[in-house]
Amino acid sequence: MHVEENVPLARYTTIGTGGPARWFARPENSPQLHDLLGWAREHALAVEVVGLGSNLLVHDGGVDALVVKLAGELADAHVEGELLVMGGGAPNAVGLHRARAAGLGGFEFASAIPGTAGGGVRMNAGAYGREWGDVLVDALVVDAEGERTLGSEQLDLSYRHSGLAPGEVVARVSFGLEPSTADAVKAIAAELLAQRKATQPTNKRTFGSVFKNPAAGPGAGRMIEDCGMKGHRIGGALVSPRHANFIENGGEATSADCIALMAEARRRVHEQFGVELEHEVQFLGPLELPAV
């Protein structure tokens, strides 16, 4: 298994910021992944995973860890009966294409989530009223000790949360879908995609939603907008004029710019609404938001 050193990560993220990974590898099957994780443990290295690079903000100074990008069979997808089986690194769009071709419905909501099956498990990704936990049957999780298959309850899935620990990597996910038709799946996915394009900055460099929506009251985007933050800019990063819960790379942005912008939005929301927003985007490297 070839492990590269000091690999720039900005090109592997959708926001386009961040420094290099100390170590970087692309395992293509579960045995390779297990060997890598064992190697990381032997060298006392943290393990991070990049899928399509969405929902990630990487420290400008880089990440002192083994960063893994799943490839080969770990990034493929196929259908078995009414099960959609996806490698942890398989793009959601590929899974939806396989399901549509097989006349299976229930995964259309994933068309609005530009990530991977494994990343979706780690954060229990969701959109338009559905989430991974609604369709997940089980997931194959690999760590330095070996591999095991876990169901939804064992994964402890809740809103934008799972119980996966650092060093545990989702190698495969099985989704239970329902009979449909290719035309019906295509129509539903097209409608959801149109909604997403109408309300989110899909043609800009972002990392996706910045903050989780609070359990009650207005959504994070609405509160940030009501605080007058739309279009607010720090360095090369700006709060999206289209949807205030997105940060755009307006040109030469750094992760530090994004953090500063997040901190200001969080401070204003707390000051005006008394709500302490929790970030949805995952941090790689020594990044943190100041207390409000």
Residue 96: partners with Cβ closer than 8 Å, 6 or more residues away? 107, 108, 110, 111, 185, 189
Q: How far is Cα 183 from Cα 248, in angstroms, rounded to an integer?
A: 34
The helix (H) or strand (E) run that includes residue 120 is helix 117-123
- Residue of 160, 196, 205, 222 marked catalytic: 160
Q: Is 160 a catalytic residue?
A: yes
- Residue of 48, 131, 225, 280 marked catalytic: 280
Long-range contacts of 231-235 (CB under 8 A, 24+ apart): 232/261, 232/264, 232/265, 233/261, 234/260, 234/261, 234/264, 235/260
| 249-273: burial string, b at 16+ Cβ within 10 Å, e else | bbeebbbbbbbbbbbbbbbbbbeeb
Q: Is 222 a catalytic residue?
A: no
- Residue of 209, 240, 248, 266 marked catalytic: 209
Q: Is 280 a catalytic residue?
A: yes
Alpha-helical segments (H) within 156-276: 182-199, 220-226, 255-273
* Dihedral of alpha carbons 45, 69, 164, 18, sign: positive
Between the two ends of the chain, the Cα-to-Cα distance in Å is: 44
Asked if 19 contacts 1 with a C-beta cutoff of 8 angstroms, the reply is no
Name the residues annotated as catalytic.
160, 209, 280
